[in-house]
Every structure is written in structure tokens, then in C-alpha cells.
Amino acid sequence: MGREEVQKNLDMLGFGFSEIVETIITSQNLKGQPNAAPMGITRIGPRTIEVKPFLDTTTYTNLRETHKGVANITYDVNLFLESAFKDERAKAEWLEKGEDFPYLKEADALLYFTVLGETKVSESQACLLCQVEAIKVLRPFPRVFSRGFASTIEAIIHATRIEAFMKEGKRNEVEKCLQKFRACKEVVE
């Protein structure tokens, strides 16, 4: 896939510059063991994205070791939930290996990327500069946007940050995440 085609497809998928888009990153370690985790990515150039994993995560380790990953685009809230709070036995059911890298079987689109470099965001988080190499659209039919969907995704994001902030002893951040989680829960219910 050429540079212009990747750029055009990112535009068509709705990737605005400097906007955080929620995806599920699939990666694998050097032994080929797959992992999936919800993660926001930000487009910062025509084909360039930033991924900001926490340093103690499997996603960070895998991307650092292999320099490759797949950003899975989906509107399926269950995929976000399953990948955030994964049951290791369930992985085989929702992951498939293609192009030598794992992806979610139920994804709507796939962004294959290469890690170009790394900087630190904080003591516990990195910023990985990545280049989108190819895009594969699996389900081109558009879907409507739901406030419940957005709030569920937002709640999952806050829930996954609580553990990291607790490890760092950031009680104020934990409380802020809990408040945001509760607000999201009210929208969904």
C-alpha cells in the first residue's frame, strides 16, 4: 500500500490530526504469543501515529521488542471489554493471525504499523512514534454512533487507568477516574 493510499484511507476512516481515537492494539512477543489491549492512538502526521502505553504492560513490551503492531478499529464494545479485562483462555476465540501479526476477527478495519521511536511521557508511560504501513478495511458498512457506546468505552478507559495510578500511589488520580467512571455508568444505565 502506497503512502498516498494510506493517508487517504486514514482520512476516510475519520482520523483527524491530534485527535485521540480509541482502538484495540494487537501485538505479539518474540515467541509469537498474542496480546490485545484497548489503547488510544493519535494521528500526528499523514501516516504517523502516537501510541502511549504504560511501561509495565504487555503491549509496551511487545511493541518495543518487535517494533510492530495492529490498531484494530471496532464499534464492538464487547471487544473493548474482553481485551481490557481479558481471560487468557478466550484469546484464541477472538484473535486471528494474518500478515504475520495477530488481529481481532471481529474488527472493522486494521492499521498495520511499525514503531519508529520512543520517548517518555512520564515515569510510567512511553510515547511510541509509529508509521502506518497498511490499512485493511474488513467491514466497510457504516455504523451509527451511540452515546452509550462512547460512555462504555470511556468507562473502560478510566477503569484500566485506576490500577496503574494505584501502583504509583496517585490517590487523587484514582479518585478522579472513579468519579469519571461513575458518570459514564449513569449514561449507560
pTM of the model: 0.80
CA 51 to chain centre: 8
CA distances in angstroms from 64 to 2, 54, 58, 112, 172, listed in the order given = 25, 12, 10, 15, 30
pLDDT tens-digit profile of 105-134? 999 999 999 999 999 999 999 999 999 999
* Rg (alpha carbons) of the chain, rounded to whole number: 16
Quick one: what percent of the chain has pLDDT higher than 70? 93
Rounded distance, CA 40 to CA 121, Å? 14
Of 143, 154, 131, 119, the C-alpha closest to 38 is 154
Residue 12 has pLDDT above 60, yes or no: yes
Q: Greater confidence, 141 or 172?
A: 172
Cell numbers for 37, please give them: 489491549
Q: Where are the beta strands (DSSP E) in 48-185?
A: 48-51, 68-73, 95-98, 101-104, 109-120, 126-137
Residue 147 has pLDDT above 80, yes or no: no
Q: What is the pLDDT of residue 99?
A: 66
CA distances in angstroms from 159 to 21, 66, 121, 182, listed in the order given = 18, 28, 20, 10
Ranges 113-117, 140-144, 150-154: which has the least confidence: 140-144
Q: What is the pLDDT of residue 14?
A: 85
pLDDT tens-digit profile of 50-96? 999 999 999 999 999 999 999 999 988 888 888 888 766 556 678 88
